[in-house]
Amino acid sequence: MASRIVLCAGELSGDMHAAHVVSALYRHLPGAHITGMAGALCAEAGMDVRFQYRDYAVIGFTGILASLPRFHRLEKNLRALIDDADLFIAVDYPGLNLRLCDYAHERGKRVLYYIAPQVWAWGARRVERMRRTVDSVAVVLPFETRIYREAGMNVEFIGHPFITDHELPAPVDERERDGIALLPGSRTGEVTSLLPIFLEAARHLRERHRGLPVTVSRSPVVNRDLYDAIVGRSGLDVTLVDGAVGALARARLALVASGTATLESALLETPLVIAYRTGRLNYALAKRLIKIPDVGLVNVLLGERVAPELVQHEATPAALADAVHALLTDGARRAQTIARFRGLREQLAQGGGSERVAAMAGELLV
């Protein structure tokens, strides 16, 4: 019989990474039926996408609380799909996916977690929960292997899809770079909060660097009218481009909201300053829960603060401009930063990528 697989990818990055897995699954398991929650990229790969992740994009604890009825209906519908499945594949998005893993296990289904929850940031309780309900874990950060192996779980480091699945182009030569890129996040709430601050920082920078080109990255899940309105109020002349890569690839430096884009910037060898601001309640809760000193993924991977971080009250336009200016003008520091980023790229290139994830799925279905 054809394999029946439910996959849940609840964000833009998850949809992008999962699309490669979906394509590989169809190669490994001809006739398989893959359904669940994802986005346009997984749909293009052939998945029967019943629920679009962009319909459930919220930010922070308070945003989730306000959307609980919708999430409750979504979870109920996904559980119904799992009832008829042979395998559940969770892709990142732990708030929902960990509950679905629990349910799938209770129903006797095999469970594969791809792009595991950041247990190193949130504490060990999630590892124990996964140990009870997840059959195999495919991790994309090398140090995560030890965490899950010590918990007695079946885990493999399969490399990072940015490299193994060729999601990012090769870095551009230094001589072809100019200006700064502003990446204020991938969700509406982040853009509303951070883009005005980033643009004001760019205004400060232009007082020191006349004619400095400024590029703003537009998230595909955020309405363009929001960017136009915020940029219009700033009065700055900037270029708006679609996606993180389009903004980062030829920039000399980037100002980036904490998240996956910090790693994209590093792998494209674009030095960056990391910033983040959120509501008081969200920040207070995060401070209590997060167990690591740095919020930027690239700094976590490198084991030290290579990219400056300014969070919450520290993330003022003047402070951000000062941090960017320092990296723009300190050639030795810039060269050292790029060298560290090249080492990271080599490290994350190890592994079989989405082909290995699909093989792991096939092993669970035997």
The reported pLDDT for the residue numbered 157 is 97
Is 180 a residue whose pLDDT tops 70?
A: yes
Q: Is the CB of residue 320 less than 8 Å from the CB of residue 273?
A: yes
Residues of the chain with CATH 3.40.1190.20: 4-159+350-365
Is 120 a residue whose pLDDT tops 90?
A: no
Tell me the pLDDT band of 165, cut-offs 50, 70 and 90: very high
Helices within 249-330 (DSSP H only): 260-267, 280-289, 297-302, 317-329
Q: Is 3 left (phi over 0), alpha (psi -120 to 50) or beta?
A: beta
Tell me the pLDDT band of 360, cut-offs 50, 70 and 90: very high
Tell me the pLDDT band of 312, cut-offs 50, 70 and 90: confident
Looking at per-residue pLDDT, the higher value among 268 and 122 belongs to: 268
Q: How far is CA 154 from CA 67, 111, 139, 250, in A?
A: 34, 11, 11, 40
pLDDT in tens, 277-294: 876 665 555 555 555 567
What is 4-159+350-365's CATH topology? UDP-N-acetylmuramoyl-L-alanine:D-glutamate ligase (3.40.1190)
Is 214 a residue whose pLDDT tops 60?
A: yes
CATH classification for the domain delimited by 174-348, as one of 3.30.2130.10, 3.20.20.105, 3.40.50.2000, 3.40.50.11540: 3.40.50.2000
Q: Give the Cα separation of 181 and 244 in Å (integer).
A: 9
pLDDT in tens, 18-52: 999 999 999 999 999 999 999 999 999 999 999 99
Hey, is 177 helix, strand or coil? coil
* Amino acid of residue 186: S
Residues of the chain with CATH 3.40.50.2000: 174-348
Q: Determine what percent of the chain is predicted with pLDDT higher than 70.
A: 91
Q: Give the pLDDT mean for 313-335.
A: 96
Question: Which of these, 331, 271, 321, 322, lies nearest to 296 by C-alpha position?
Answer: 271
Is 133 a residue whose pLDDT tops 60?
A: yes
Kindly provide the residue ranges of all beta strands, DSSP E only, lying in the chain, ordered along the sequence.
4-9, 33-38, 48-52, 87-91, 110-114, 136-139, 155-157, 180-183, 214-218, 239-242, 253-257, 272-276, 309-311
Please give the model's pTM, rounded to 2 decimal places: 0.87
Q: Give the pLDDT mean for 120-136.
A: 82
Q: What is the 3-state secondary structure (H, E, C) of 10-72?
A: CCHHHHHHHHHHHHHHHHHCCCCEEEEEECHHHHHCCCEEEEEHHHHCCCHHHHHHHCHHHHH
* Amino acid of residue 323: A
Two tokens at 355?
């082909």
DSSP summary character for residue 176: G
Two tokens at 231?
């940029």
